[in-house]
Chains A and B, each alone.
Chain A
Amino acid sequence: MVEFSSIFSALAAQPLLAQIGMVSEAEGSMPWLTLTTFAPLVGILLLLFIPKEQINVLRNVALIASLGTFALSVGIMVNFNPAVAAAAGDAFTFQMVEHIDWIPEVGISYAMGVDGISLWLVMLTTFLMPIAIWSTYGAIKENVKEYMVFLLLLEVGLVGAMLAIDLFLFFIFWEVVLVPMYFIIVIWGGAERLKAGLTFFIYTMTGSLLMLTAMVYVYFQVGADTGVYSFLYADMLGAELTYEQQFWLFAAFALSFAIKVPLFPFHTWLPLAHVQAPTAGSVLLAAVMLKLGTYGMVRLAFPLFPDAFVVYAPFIAVLAVIGIVYGAVLALIQTDVKKLVAYSSVSHLGFCVLGLVAMTPQGLAGGIYVMLAHGIATGGLFLCVGMLYERRHSKRIADFGGVAKVMPVFAVMFAVIMLGSAGLPGLNGFVGEFLSLMGAAKSHFLSFGEYNFFLADAESAFALGTTTTVPTEAGTSSGPELTAFIMAAIGALGVILGAAYLIWMFRRVMFGEVRYEEVRMMPRLTAREIGVLVPIVVMTIFMGVYPKFFMSRMDPSIHQFLSYMDVKVTEAVEAAAADEDRRNVYGQVVVEPPNEEWVPQGSMVDLARERRQQR
């Protein structure tokens, strides 16, 4: 039995901030995660004491706060040891865990932890935040103070949600994200900002409520099973749910995340919100916030409800594939640059989800890499669009033309970012998309089994185990799963279309003759704007040339997750086979241990120390 009265007293008695000190005492080392998450709050605190009129001071303080946060997150990165994630029985092995009972009466704790997946998403957030703040120097002149406060608050929510390993805490951060984003859209947005903000809010709130309901249900289920009521991720994983329960719970979680991603057909809030939001808002919305959806899928929806996931996976994959092509085709015909970039997000996130549900090491690694690459590339594209808009006060493609002649440096940077987004090998977009497609194509998870409706005649040929056979004179041989390969092939069409809409847009905006006097008068990039774009361009190239830096540090976590899923999915498939009422499900997780020489054995700090000692 739970005592409810104490919830409030617990909240009152132990405000979050008061506990930070306790953590560091208890752990004895730097509480990197907590520091990174709440560092922006220090910035907010400072901002509150600065008068509204001192715009530049406000901006600089916010910038410094976000840079400080980035510096702290580097602390996470260098202390992160990828080799820790051994093939334990857990879905993920977390590091730098900080755990204190927050409201012990109801099993809510303040628990933070990082693994190979959340690490890079956190880094992405902290990396982009200073850039986003710096980019507002020219654009935002009204209500600067509030804007900066909201941006920093947004960072708290984003980082916190990715680091929380207590579901209640996760939910709090998840909700914290919504509020500042809503206000950013509604106050500083474009002409239709009210509608956009409202749509955004209703959509995401609907998702949140569904998730909360499902989360609480699981919480009570776990409590009833084990007697321990706890929102801890590790405890929640232990829930024993029947297939029917999982079916609905997964639906609730998946819908919530699908809205956030957004997966076709839940995407209609996105173009509206992206287009209406101010530049920094669009950047963070596209680059980081959407990733909460995909991150939530991997972290929560998939491992919590494996029985249901096996059944849902192929359908999610179909939606992802539709999204890839649909988003790309829509992007192709847009007349508004910003809307084009917005629809391109739908397409790119389709690659991501397709990779994630494939349950192969390549697919998962690719999916996560798409998240990172898309964050950099689309963030960069929105920044470029913002710079164009600040000069021309128009986002219509037809209003431009020949910009490359007027702004040569901008043209180069825009081109690099654009090509990165289009998936050129050697730049960031390629690695993720390629791996996602490859992982999806070899997947043994995207089989419809007896749900097979559009390939019913050839059903036996597509069932698991009896992979496609290619007849030859010398006999027959097996290839990849045909349904999966078809999905990957259709998804790969997005590679062509992706190049098409970006290159075509680029040509119409940047190339050709200068037709308008307004375009001719557009000033060149200022030093600040170059400074905003350079980190993006550098990262675009670095992520494409040396993906090892990122991938080798997430692979062990991915492998661990797949091993975990393999066990669960095998159980699920067996259970389904034993149950006469249920139709057969197929699905097999592909587990391939990563190459040992690939994974760094130790954190960056350790490795550096070792190297110094060797010398």
Chain B
Amino acid sequence: MEALYAEQFYFLGLIVLAPLLGAIINGLFGSKLPKRVVDWVACGAMAMSFAFALISVQALINNMTVSPDGERSWGMLTYTAYQWIFSGSLEAEIAFLLDPLSAVMVLVVTGVGLLIHIYSAGYMAEDESKWRYFAYLNLFAFAMLMLVLGKNMLVTFIGWEGVGVCSYLLIGFWFGDDEKAAAGQKAFLVNRVGDFCFILGMFLVFYTAGTWDYVALAEMSTTAATAATLLPIALPAGLLIFLGCTGKSAQIPLYVWLPDAMAGPTPVSALIHAATMVTAGVFLICRMNWLFTLDHRLMATIAIVGALTAFFAATIALVQTDIKRVLAYSTVSQLGFMFMAVGMGAFVAAIFHLMTHAFFKALLFLGAGSVIHGMHHEQDMRKMGGLRKLMPYTWATFLVATIAIAGVPFFSGFFSKDLILWGAISNAHVLTVDGAMGMITMEHFTSALVPAAAGGEALDIGRWAIVNWVVFLLGIMTAFLTAFYMFRCYFMTFHGECRADEETKAHIHESPPSMLVPLVVLAFLSFVGGYVGIPHFITTHMPEGPQFWSLLLENWLAEVFLVSDAYRVVGRFGASPYGLETLVAVVSIAIAGAGIGLAYLMYVKSPELPARVKERAGKLYDLLWNKYFVDEGYDTAFVRSTLKLGEVSYWFDRYIIAGLLVGGTAFMTKNFGQVLRHLQGGNVQRYATYILIGTVLILFAILGGATGS
């Protein structure tokens, strides 16, 4: 076995390569191949990638070492494909890294990806250019795997932009429709704004650290002697990178592209705009957690932006009538939850939620896709209803996902959301601890607990507690809204009378098996996915063996977040805060119950209520319906002003530069030419005179030049 674990672990390359090959085969020859073959190539590529991922993760598990004090560590597997760009001190290789964090991501990407590929085979069955669809989808998987497996920031960035392009291509997949093409364009450009910030952040990191390699950077920022060099750029570089993440992960201020991105085929929304690509930002911050935790202001900013996004997106989702748009805003909102967790230093919770969200949100989208498929491309929930009997499998699986996202106990969403809320209220950055600023040294950032926290007492973090409360309350409110709008969506779609017209009604049908199998698998995962992170107030009473398994995710990821978790982010309620944790769990259960109850009341019990509420809160409803007018604001502020600038510049170009300066010169030249014209009358003697004069002049000039100086 030893050889396999040597410096080059080739399987990582194979994970990435398989989807790329699939994309190339389908892209070049797909139009000539029969549709079945196209399906098999695309799904086969993903299946291979998934298989290689499983092998690699197993290898990583086998790699486990246990330190004398019982700490497990899995280390990492790496593979360097080739040298890409070297220039002076810049060395960028195409290299991959598998550690516990990327292992989780790779399994999610390839696993959920495979399911969605299988689903797509059914969903896109009638599409003419299915090959193109699958080529893009495989290409996306390739780029996403580059992103999560990248060993340095540049490889991550390749994937980062790559997923953006695939997203652009897939949103605008039905490019014949101008609106869809426009949505793709919007997604790409908004992402580009984020990427612009990301690049600048990368530059800052490079100048200070001299490398983009995650391993080297981690080493640097978790060693007391060198962490100080990264300290000053943590805030600017972190902010820039975070802005990059807001683009990809649809957070304020760059979330506007995601709802429009729903123009793409529904499985695309499930894969790219719910399960994988949009979580890239969360992943990246977790990957670079040792940089972000260096600065508490940065962390607070991230947390607050995340919480605000979560809340505002949830409010917009309340009034949406397009089933996919509800889910889109829900995604923005849930991503906000993840950023909230990251910002509060609850990295494990963020990854946990990322994973469970990938399951249930993909399931919701696929369920919605099944509904849309069954109803012949009807997306308006006002025309649905009563689908429970017509589409039983879709109904059952959709219900599981809705329960999971609403935060009902025993389903996966509950566990992860609870962990986030608990982190929001209890975590504190060491720099915010009262009096810590004065006595803290670099050791306290890397290898020693701050004296105040070492004793296990409750910590006083002064006014920084406001951040905790703001984030926590926004989180709780979002949880309530989430439960409400998700069940609103569920009731409107599956309960009551069917509001579709007769024509459609007659044709509603359950989806084919290739679409149902992924639904069932994802429903299973949405249920059990949470049991890798059972709340601490339960596990603390368990014996060691079961405790390890019920906190599997936390233990698995521990080494990745070791320094951040142990020394930089501390629990402010002392050593055993389990009573409080129970309280938070109870509150979140109550809130979820209230949300579900309200939805039941408004959409099942007395369906006339919504209309009355709408009437009473007319202004607010308008504001929500128009999504706070953000799109219009951006359009005026950025798009139109840039175009205006272009027009002004064009005017300047034509009339000032070309017209006045160049034209003026030309005018003078022309008139000068009129004078000169008389010189060339065709008289040979005259020419001879000119030549003589010229020669003499040149001679003088040369002699003067040669001797003069």
Contact = CB atoms under 8 A, between A and B. Distances in A.
Question: Interface on chain B toward A: helix, strand, loop, or mixed SS?
Answer: helix
Contacts of B229: 477
A156 interface: no
B651 to A, nearest CB: 10
A455 to B, nearest CB: 18
Q: Which of A333, A402, A471 has the most CB of B within 10 A?
A: A333
Interface in B646-668: 646-647, 649-650, 653, 657-658, 661-662, 666
Interface in B388-447: 431, 437, 440, 442
Given A332-B643, A474-B231, A552 B207 contact: no
A493 B196 contact: yes
A268 B196 contact: no
A507 interface: yes
A268 B85 contact: no
B87 interface: yes
B210 to A, nearest CB: 10
Contact of B709 (A221, A404, A405, A592): A221
A317 B232 CA distance: 28
Contact of B85 (A405, A435, A477): A435
A419 B196 contact: no
Contacts of B84: 546-548
Contacts of B208: 477, 479
Given A220-B706, A480-B204, A513 B178 contact: yes
B649 A329 contact: yes
B82 A548 contact: yes
Contact of B88 (A220, A268, A360): A360
Contacts of A470: 232-233, 235-236
B83 interface: yes
Contact of A495 (B158, B176, B196, B228): B196
Nearest to B199: A492
A117 interface: no
Interface string B357-380: 000000000000000000000000
Given A2-B702, A362-B88, A507-B185, A496 B646 contact: no
Contacts of A476: 232
A428 B48 CA distance: 29
Contact of B662 (A268, A365, A590): A268
B158 A426 contact: yes
A265 B88 contact: no
B645 interface: yes
B642 interface: yes
B88 A590 contact: yes
Interface string A589-601: 0101111001000
A476 to B, nearest CB: 7
Contacts of B705: 217, 220, 224
Nearest to B438: A473
Contacts of B85: 431, 435, 547-548, 551
A243 B52 CA distance: 65
Contact of B87 (A332, A479, A485, A594): A594
A495 B203 contact: no
A326 interface: yes
A595 B232 CA distance: 29
Nearest to A492: B196
Contacts of A362: 87-88, 90
Interface stretch (B186-194, B469-477, B514-522, B614-622): B186-194
Q: Which of B83, B84, B203 has the most CB of A within 10 A?
A: B203
Contact of A488 (B87, B185, B203, B709): B203
Contact of B646 (A333, A424, A507, A593): A333
A260 B699 CA distance: 31
A598 B669 contact: no
A512 B181 contact: yes
B700 to A, nearest CB: 13
A238 interface: no
B89 interface: yes
B17 to A, nearest CB: 13
Interface string A431-472: 100110110011000000000000000000000000001111
B162 interface: yes
B165 A419 contact: yes
Interface stretch (A121-129, A176-184, A378-386, A497-505): A497-505
B195 interface: yes
Interface residues of B, number: 73
Contact of A513 (B176, B207, B707): B176
Given A479-B208, A495-B199, A329 B657 contact: no
B200 interface: yes
A25 B589 CA distance: 92
B158 A425 contact: yes
Contacts of A474: 228, 231, 442
A202 interface: yes
Nearest to B229: A477
Nearest to B203: A441
B193 A496 contact: yes
Interface string B248-287: 0000000000000000000000000000000000000000
A417 to B, nearest CB: 14
A592 B176 contact: no
A107 interface: no
A326 B649 contact: yes
Interface in A179-233: 199, 202, 217, 220-221, 223-224
B460 interface: no
Contacts of B232: 469-472, 475-479
A496 B181 contact: no
A495 B192 contact: yes
A410 to B, nearest CB: 14
Interface in B293-350: 295
A426 B702 CA distance: 54
A598 B82 CA distance: 11
B274 to A, nearest CB: 24
Contacts of A217: 705
Interface in B665-709: 666, 669, 699, 702, 705-707, 709
B87 A435 contact: yes
Q: Which of B85, B165, B181 has the most CB of A within 10 A?
A: B85
A484 B44 CA distance: 49
A252 to B, nearest CB: 15
Contact of B233 (A332, A424, A479, A511): A479
Given A426-B162, A492-B199, A594-B88, A477 B231 contact: yes
Interface string B208-235: 1000000000000000000011011111
Interface in A1-31: 1-2, 4
Contacts of B193: 496
B91 interface: yes
Nearest to B161: A425
Given A333-B646, A472-B231, A479-B232, A511 B87 contact: no
B653 A330 contact: yes
A2 B707 CA distance: 12
Contacts of B295: 472
Given A475-B232, A507-B175, A590-B88, 9 more contacts: A268-B662, A425-B158, A425-B162, A473-B440, A477-B229, A488-B200, A495-B199, A548-B84, A555-B86
19 contacts: A199-B662, A220-B705, A220-B706, A268-B657, A329-B649, A361-B89, A419-B165, A424-B161, A425-B161, A430-B161, A442-B207, A479-B208, A480-B204, A492-B199, A496-B189, A507-B178, A511-B176, A512-B176, A513-B178
Interface of B: 27, 31, 82-91, 157-158, 161-162, 165, 168, 172, 175-178, 181-182, 184-185, 188-189, 192-193, 195-196, 199-200, 203-204, 206-208, 228-229, 231-236, 295, 431, 437, 440, 442, 642-643, 645-647, 649-650, 653, 657-658, 661-662, 666, 669, 699, 702, 705-707, 709
Of all A-B residue pairs in the complex, the 9 with the closest CB atoms, nearest first, are A592-B88, A361-B88, A477-B232, A333-B646, A511-B181, A511-B175, A470-B232, A268-B658, A512-B178
